[in-house]
Amino acid sequence: MGLSYLALGDSYTIGEAVAVEGRWPHQLAAALRAQGIDLADPQTVATTGWTTDELDAGIDEVAPKGPFDFVSLLIGVNNQYRGRPLDEYQLQFQALLQRAIGFAGGRADRVLVLSFPDWGATPFGIQSGRHLTRIGIETDEFNAAAKVISAQQGVAFVDITDISRDNGTDPAMIAEDGLHPSAVMYALWSARALPVTADLLSRTD
């Protein structure tokens, strides 16, 4: 019986437009197993388009049975996309992070937060008619807030936003919808999260 894993999020967690094994949480679990850390593929609570409050309601509906050995959280892009306020995101993200810690049996050191990517750097974003500079600024503001809250709660934070910006127009890195990452980009995300996660799962105290 491997270590259990709960992945919470939105389209980036379910890997919209990619096969299940291409999702970053599944790639991360596979990479850890290759290193001898027996992390199971995740139970996933995520839906394309979810905001923080919708994820919270989704968790209520699914009612995952913890505790889990590891929990990941990636949420916020749809708050930004819909023009929801930053202060609302901060409050709701903090509440979600507390829930994530609870699912990890109260162990903040078994929770990982990923930043969300800059969708304005994708072909979809470029063609959207939206203000790309504003998208970038707000993406940084939301992610900075999540990073601060994570640090306050003793939770590891991995920033993958630069990967999305550096590779947003590379056809190999973007799914056919022109918006979501391909499995190739998700591999870069999981590679960045890998050493941090391996360290978290090696802690026994």
What is the identity of the amino acid at 96?
L
Q: Are 38 and 3 in contact (CB under 8 A)?
A: yes
| Contacts of residue 102, Cβ cutoff 8 Å, sequence gap at least 6 | 66
Q: What is the DSSP letter of 69?
A: S
Q: What is the set of domains in the chain, with CATH numbers?
A: 5-201 (3.40.50.1110)
- Rounded CA gap, 131 and 93, in Å? 25
State how far the Cα of 190 lies from the Cα of 23, in Å rounded to an integer. 9
Cα separation, 191 vs 71, in Å, equals 17
In terms of Cβ atoms closer than 10 Å to its own Cβ (0-12, 13-18, 19+), residue 90 is middle
Helical residues (DSSP H) of the chain, grouped into ranges: 11-14, 24-34, 52-62, 77-81, 86-103, 123-126, 132-152, 161-167, 183-201
Give CA–CA dist 26/66, Å, rounded.
Answer: 19
Tokens for 104, please give them.
Answer: 């990890």
pLDDT at 90: 98
Q: In this structure, are strands 43-46 and 70-73 parallel, antiparallel, or unpaired?
A: unpaired
Along the 205 residues of the chain, how does pLDDT read in single tens digits? 689 999 999 999 999 999 999 999 999 999 999 999 999 999 999 999 999 999 999 999 999 998 999 999 999 999 999 999 999 999 999 999 999 999 999 999 999 999 999 999 999 999 999 999 999 999 999 999 999 999 999 999 999 999 999 999 999 999 999 999 999 999 999 999 999 999 999 976 6
> Rg of the chain over CA atoms, in angstroms?
16
